[in-house]
Structures are given as structure tokens and as C-alpha cells.
Amino acid sequence: MRALRKLGSFLKPYWRWAALAPLMMALEVAMDLMQPRLVQRMVDQGIAHSDMALVLHTGALQVACAVIGMFAGMGCTYFAVLAGQGFGADLRERLFGKIQSLSFGNLDHLDTGSLITRLTNDVTQVQEVVMMVLRIMVRVPLLLVGSLIMGVLTSPRLSLLFLILIPVISAALAAIIRKTSPLYSQVQKRLDALNTVLQENLSGVRVVKAFARSQHEERRFADANDQLMTQNITAARLGALTMPVVMLTLNFGVVAALWFGGAQVDAGQLRIGQVIAFINYLMQTLVSLTMASMLILRFSRGEASALRIEEVLDSVPAIQPAPNAITLAQTRGRIVFEDVRFAYDGQDHDPVLTGVSFTAEPGQTVAILGATGAGKSSLVNLVPRFYDVAGGRVTIDGQDVRSLSEKSLRGHVGIALQESVLFSGSIRDNIKYGRPEASDDDVVAAAKMAQAHDFIMGFPEGYDTVVGQRGVNLSGGQKQRIAIARVLATGADILILDDSTSAVDVQTEARIQQALAEHREGRTSLVVAQRISTVLGADKILVLDDGRIAAEGTHRELLTSSPIYREIYESQMENGVITDGGE
């Protein structure tokens, strides 16, 4: 239960509620323990002697105890919910914040489905354990110990039954718990798999329909769902043995108490009220043990969830800030790659980039061209330090990016990623996402440069048009242009376009390139492209091949010096990719 204890620190802000809940529960237990004694008094002193005044007085005391116990129980539940909900909200917020702090490398190993499960189901499991601790965890030991003591005081001889019944039921429950606990870890993993399938399907539902793969996706979901169901049934089947074992033991105890108690009543050694009271304490004791076993099962499931939450909270971001990080106040935008080597999983894996060296001077546009998998995106991801190099270094204005503060570095680098991700809200909100303080004039200027203004104004609500989930009411080219506008609105000194015009037609792309060229003063641009038309006007073109720079130069230079570049150019010329204005 180490992980649950560690997460218990999130209860500190709610210690008042966490303290009041057990106090209320202690009062409720005290009232419950008084009831059998009052029954004994009513039977042995009131009914046996036909003393109706005593019967009525004792009955009134029972009602009073019941009412006090009811309000104490309600108070306990109220305070436990306050503490538990606050605990869950803070834990969920901390977990979400931790995910935001993780680097790309960490997120490569934590899939989206798993993170969703941890933020929702796992936090809920731990939250429920906390609320159970504040209620049942207090009730169980108090009721168990109290019932044992009161049972012994009521009849020391009948209390010998405890020596037989408690070890039997404890051994049975321990065996059930030992076999059930590991199953709950598997339940959470199965839930991860289900959420992953669900997330993938909902994100790519249009692709599914386009390829008529609905039945395939239904089978994938059914398989994951069946595995989760089977695992839950396996765990629940073992857990279901708890109540039959408890009831068998409890009924055996009641029969034994009536048998031996009745004999002692006949012998004049006990009174009927004592036997009734003892049976009540016996039942309370065994029920407490049952509650303890259920609590342990919940603890087991909660511990499995707590370990998964702890795994995220204890994750160390792969990108660590420098001890004395430098803040870039202004940048000229000179980018230098010096013999850069990079591998996604560290030094021990095959490198994606090897020996990459080049310089992008301030105000230059450097295009990066190459086949799929050549390492183009990996290269540009090193500039804003989404990943760290495995060898060599990347510098901006002579400063190693690893020595710069993350906030100032990324404040000077604007990047449009391959996938144009838009958020719920208006088009204006999406363009202002990287610079919330941007004025409407800035938004319009950025949209015009990205060739998005005209189609935006074609919507009835213009810039206030609400973007559907993930931009479903926009075409691929429209989303890309809004994503480019979002980057331009930041006013970043270094601009990275990672194949961000792939869904835009050639004519529109040419206008975007022209607009960028007209406003490139003081801005260094790195442009990743698949199409020759994208790179024609670049000051420098890098041809990547298998993680290395195979050629470097202008369009004209590479046509004569680089067979790879010439092959790409000629193949696209044959397919009509280059327009009449191209060369």
C-alpha cells in the first residue's frame, strides 16, 4: 500500500474534513454498540419483570441512540465526501499538469488511451479508497474491537466461540484476497487497451468509414471489451466467494450461540437477554471482518491504480532545464547544427540523424527535402528542443539550445507540425492560441499571410466561426492554413513549417510562400517539404537521405550537383507537380 500512502499527501489541504469524518464515525459506532446492551436490559429487566416503564424508557433510549447514530453517520459521509472530492480534484489536476510537463520522449512511451484511463478511472478508484478509509476504515476496527469486548463482557463462556470463528473466517478471506488482488492490475490494463481502441476509432472515424472498416473496428472493440469483461468476471467471481463464506460462518456461529446459550439459560447460568445481546455482538464482529475483507479488496484495486498514477507523477521529463538557464531576450535567428547525432531512444539505438551539420543565417529560408523516413521532422524538432541530441549540438545565435530556458526558446520558435491540430472554440481563438494577447489586426494579418482570410470571411460568422471537434467542419487545407496563421500570429523570430502545406493546392502554397518571403525580414525559416514546388524559392535546400545531408545548395546548384535532388525534381515534373512558373 506504499503508493496509496504516498498519494495520501494530497489530503493535507482537507485535514479538517479528514479528521471530522472519523470522529463522526466513532460516535456512530458507539451508538451501534449500545443497542444490544439496551435490548438485553429491556428483555431481562423490563419484559421479564413486566416493568413497562423500564421497557418504554429503554425503548426511548434506543430511538435516541439510533437518531444520534444516524446524524453521526450522515456527518461522517458528508465530511468524507468533502475530503475525498477535494483529494480527487487536486490529484487529477496535478496529474494533468505533470502530463503537460512531460517531453515528447516521455509521451512516446505513454499512449493516449493509458493516460486517459489514469486521469479518469484510476483517479476515481483512488478517490473512492480515500472516502472508504475515512468511513469504513474507522468503523471496521472500532466495531470489531468494540463488539469483541462487549461480547466478552456479556458472556465470557460464549465468547470462546470467537476463538473458533474468527480464525476460520480470517483464513478464508485471506485466501480470497491473495488470489484476487493481482487480478485488478490486469483489469486496469485491459481498460487501457479498451480506451486505446476507443480513442483511435473516434479520432479516425472518417478513415474507418472511408475504407468501410466499421466491422473490423467493431471486432477490435469487441475483443478488447470481451477481454475486460472476462478479467472483471474472473476477479468478481473470486470476490463473490466472500459473502457465502461469511454467511456460512455467521450462521454456524448463531446456531452454536443459540445451542450453548440455550443450555446455559436452562441451567440458570444466563438470561435470555444476554444470549440475544451476545448474538448481536457476534454478528457485528463477523460483519466487521467481512467489511474488512471488502476494504482490503478495494485497497488492492486502489493500490493498482495508485501505482499507475505514481508512474506518471514520478516520470522525469526527458528534457531537463539547464541549472542556470539563459533567457533569450532577442534573437538574430542564426541556427547552426554541429555534427548532430540523434536517436529516439538514446545512445543504444539506431540513429535517426548522423553527422548533420549546416547553418541557417538570419533571415534565410532553409528547405529540407527527402524521402519519407529520411529524418526531416526529427531534424526540425531539435531546434525547439522537443528532443535532445545524442551527439553534437544545435545552437541559436551561438547558444546551445540545451542551455536556454524552455519558455524563452519556444517563445522565439514558432512551429506548425505535420498534423494540424485545432482546438474547440472560434477560429480567432485558434489563431491567437500561441499569443493570447494578439489584437484582431494581428489575427487578420496572420490569416492573410497564410491565405486563410478569404475562406474565413466566407463563413457567416467569420473569425467567430466555431471550430468543430478537431476541426471537422474544415477541410485539410483550411486547417493547415489556420495552423500556419497561428504560428505567424506569434511573431516568432524562427519559423518552422513541417510539411504544413501538404494539403494545400500548389497555387495557394505559392501565394503563402510569396507572402512569407515578403515578410521574412528578421525571420529565419526552416521548411520541411515533400514537393519541389515548396522549396524552389529557398535560400538553401538540404537533401536528407537516411539521416544524413546528401546535398546542400540552391535549386539551380542541386540540379547539377545532386543526383538525388535531380531524380526527385524530374519525377515530380513528370507527374505535373511543378507549375509553369517552376523551373
pLDDT, one tens digit per residue, over 443-479 is 999 999 999 999 999 989 999 998 866 666 788 888 8
Low-confidence ranges of the chain (pLDDT < 70): 1, 111-113, 202-207, 209-211, 346-349, 468-472, 574-583
Q: What is the DSSP letter of 119?
A: I
What is the pLDDT, as a whole number, of residue 407? 86
pLDDT given for residue 526 in this prediction: 92
Longest dimension (CA), the chain: 120
Q: Are 484 and 501 in contact, with CB atoms under 8 Å apart?
A: yes
Contact 4, 132 (CB under 8 A): no
User: What is the C-alpha separation between 100 and 77, in angstroms, rounded?
Assistant: 34
User: pTM score, two decimals?
Assistant: 0.71
The alpha carbon of residue 505 and the mean position of all alpha carbons in its chain are separated, in whole angstroms, by 38
Query: Taking the CB of residue 322, how many other CB atoms lie within 10 A of it?
Result: 13
Q: What cell numbers appear for 574 in the block?
A: 513528370
Per-residue confidence (pLDDT) for residue 401, from 0 to 100: 92
Q: Are strands 466-467 and 425-426 parallel, antiparallel or unpaired?
A: antiparallel
Q: DSSP 3-state helix, strand, coil percentages of the chain (rounded to 5)?
A: 65, 10, 25
Look up residue 558 and give its three cell numbers.
542541386
Q: What's the rounded Cα separation, in Å, for the pair 284 and 35?
A: 11
Torsion angle in degrees (nearest 10) through CA of 124, 127, 132, 137: 140
Q: How far apart are CA 232 and CA 239, in angstroms?
A: 10
Give the integer Cα–Cα distance in Å for 469 and 419: 15
487 touches 449 (CB < 8 A): no
Alpha-carbon separation of residue 460 from 457, 466, 477, 483 (angstroms): 7, 11, 19, 21
Query: What distance in Å separates the CA atoms of residue 551 and residue 543, rounded to the nearest whole number?
Result: 5
CA distance 516 to 485: 11
Pairing of strands 494-498, 413-416: parallel
Q: Which domains does the chain have, with CATH numbers?
A: 2-313 (1.20.1560.10), 335-574 (3.40.50.300)
| Helix residue ranges per DSSP H, 52-111 | 52-101, 104-109
Q: Give pLDDT tens digits for 267-295.
A: 888 888 888 888 888 888 878 877 777 77
Which residues are registered as beta bridge partners of 524? Answer: 494
pLDDT of residue 548: 92
| Distance of alpha carbon 306 from alpha carbon 165, whole angstroms | 34
How many whole angstroms separate alpha carbon 185 and alpha carbon 204? 29
